[in-house]
Amino acid sequence: MADHGDQIAALLNQARVAPDARSGQLISNEMWALWAKAPDEVAQAILDRGMSKRASYDFIGAKADFDALVSYCPDYAEGYNQRAFVLFLTQDYEAALADLDRALERSPTHVAALAGKALTLMGLNRLAEGQVLLRQALALNPWLPERSMLLPQGTPDKDTDL
């Protein structure tokens, strides 16, 4: 399986010094291209099919494809991240958290998985924990779209609806 760790690290460094949101988004797109490059053609076909199903709101079919992907490539972080996204969209937050943890075990600087975990914690009304993780993700890449969910420092820690 290809290790894109060095390329992701370089892109994260570029994102931290990007002068504006457009530049930051272009760098983020390069990261997504690396994360979405599956280990082989079979895995790529499963990933692409699952992402297509998710995009057309076939969450059951997408989850089945991502189940197959993580069975086929258990070390591929993006399989867990994509399945977690489907679980998040269907509000199965506990299962999404487990998959996000698996993705982050395999790819600790996967900022999309880290941001996804932050949003999932917020979905579970664990606002303070989610905000901590969102700050960690934004420290890696300040241009993540989830930056709009960041609350000011000193916001009460009580759980609240966002």
Q: Indicate whether 28 belongs to any domain.
A: no
Q: Tell me the residue range of the domain where 109 lies.
A: 5-9+40-144
Q: Indicate whether 32 belongs to any domain.
A: no
Evaluate if pTM is beyond 0.85.
Answer: yes
- Confidence label for 5 from pLDDT (cuts 50, 70 and 90): confident
Q: What is the DSSP letter of 90?
A: T
φ and ψ at residue 142, rounded to 5 degrees: -70, -5
Q: Indicate whether 118 belongs to any domain.
A: yes
Q: How many CB atoms lie within 10 A of CB 98?
A: 15
Q: Indicate whether 48 belongs to any domain.
A: yes
CATH classification of the domain holding 131: 1.25.40.10
Number of domains into which the chain is organized: 1
Contact present, 162 and 149 (Cβ < 8 Å): yes
Q: Indicate whether 157 belongs to any domain.
A: no
Which tens digits make up the pLDDT trace of 45-83?
999 999 999 999 999 999 999 999 999 999 999 999 999
The SS3 assignment for 55 reads helix
Q: How far is CA 30 from CA 8, 44, 116, in A?
A: 9, 17, 18
E strands of 34-154, at which residues?
A: none
Q: Indicate whether 136 belongs to any domain.
A: yes
Q: Indicate whether 34 belongs to any domain.
A: no
